[in-house]
Amino acid sequence: MKSHPVINRTVPKPSRGRTILRQAIDYRYLHLMVLPGLLFFLIFKYVPMYGIIIAFKNYKGAAGGFEAIMSAPWIGFKNFETFFNSLYCQRVFTNTIYLSLLRLVFSFPAPILLALLINEIRSNWFKRSVQTITYMPYFLSWVVVAGLLNTMLSPDNGAINTLIKMSGGQPIYFLTSKQWFRPILILSEIWKNIGYGSIVYLAAITSIDQEQYEAARVDGANKLQQILHITLPALSEIIAIMLILQIGRMFDDNFDQIYNLYSPSVYEVSDVFETYVYRNGIQQSKFSYSAAVGLVKSVLALAMIMFSNKASKKLGAQGLF
C-alpha cells in the first residue's frame, strides 16, 4: 500500500498582542465597569506620588507648583535623620503599634463574633433588625460620633458621669485621661464598624453547604461544635485575607477618629503617624519633614503586608498575591 505524506495542518497561534486585544473587545463592558476605579487610583494615588521627592528636598511650600518642587535643593536623608533622632519618634512608633495591636485583639474578631451570633438567629425579622441596627453607625462620620461621645462623657452633665455621681463617685474626665482614652478609641471603633464589618462574613456563611450542618446534627454535634468544626473552617480563607489587610493597615491609623477625639493632654498615648504628619505638614508647614515621616510609615505598611501575606501562605491559607 502506498503511504501518503502527512500534511501538517496546525493552526498558527495568534500573537499575544492580538489575544489581549481580542479579550479587551470581548469583555469591553466589564472593562468599562472597572475603568472608574482605575481612574480613581491613577489620579488620586499614583499621579501625586511625584511629590514624594520633597521628602529628600528642602521644600518650603512656595508658590510655583511642580517647578518649585523640582527647583528645591536636595538634602538627601536629612529629614529622615531628624525624625529618627527626635523625641517624638519613639512615642509615635509606640502609640501606633500599641493601638494597632489593640485593634487586632479586640476590633478584628468583633465582626466575626457578631456574624456567628446573627447566623444563629432563626427569626428572619429579628435577624434583619439586628443587622440594620448594628451597621447603621458605620454611616455616621467621626465628627458626629465625636460629638456624641463628648456629650455622653462630659464631666458636667454627661450621661455616664451623671450615673457615676448618682452612685457616689467622682466625675471622670474620660477624653482627657491617659488611662481612659485608648479604651474609648477601641470601644467606639467597635461600635461604629462591627455591623458593617460582619457583612462579608455573613455572606461567606451563606455559601456553606447546609448538608454539613445536617450531618453534624445527625452525629450529635451541638451548636458550638458546629461553629468550631464547620463554620470557622469555612471562613478561614476570608478571615486570612481580612487579617492581611488589617495588618497592612497597622501604620495607617484611623486619623478621623483620633483627630476628632484627642487633645494635647493625651498626645502621649494617642499621637500616631498620621496625626504627627498632619500637625507638622498642615499646621506647621513643614512639608518636606512631614513627607519624610509619611514615607517611613508607607514603607513600614508595605513591609507588614508582605510579611503577613507570606506568613498566611506558610500557614496554609490563601494570600492576597
pLDDT digit string (tens) for 133-188?
998 999 999 999 999 999 999 888 888 989 988 888 888 899 888 999 999 999 99
Amino acid at 12: P
Q: Any idea what the CATH number is for the domain that residue 201 is in?
A: 1.10.3720.10
Whether the CB-CB separation of 87 and 173 falls below 8 Å is answered with no
Name the strand (E) or helix (H) holding 120. Answer: none
In the chain, how many domains are there?
A: 1
Q: Is residue 28 part of a domain?
A: no
pLDDT recorded at residue 120 = 86
Question: Which range marks the domain in which residue 121 is found?
Answer: 87-314
Angle of helix 88-102 relative to helix 181-206, nearest 10 degrees?
40
pTM of the model: 0.80
Q: Is residue 218 part of a domain?
A: yes
pLDDT digits (tens, 9 = 90+) for 38-59: 999 899 888 888 888 888 988 8
Q: Is residue 43 part of a domain?
A: no
Q: Is residue 56 part of a domain?
A: no
Q: Is residue 177 part of a domain?
A: yes
Q: Is residue 151 part of a domain?
A: yes
Q: CA 148 to CA 151: how far, in whole Å?
A: 5
**Which range has the worst mean pLDDT, 11-20, 72-81, 190-199, 276-285?**
11-20
pLDDT recorded at residue 236 = 85
Q: Is residue 226 part of a domain?
A: yes
Whether the CB-CB separation of 186 and 107 falls below 8 Å is answered with yes
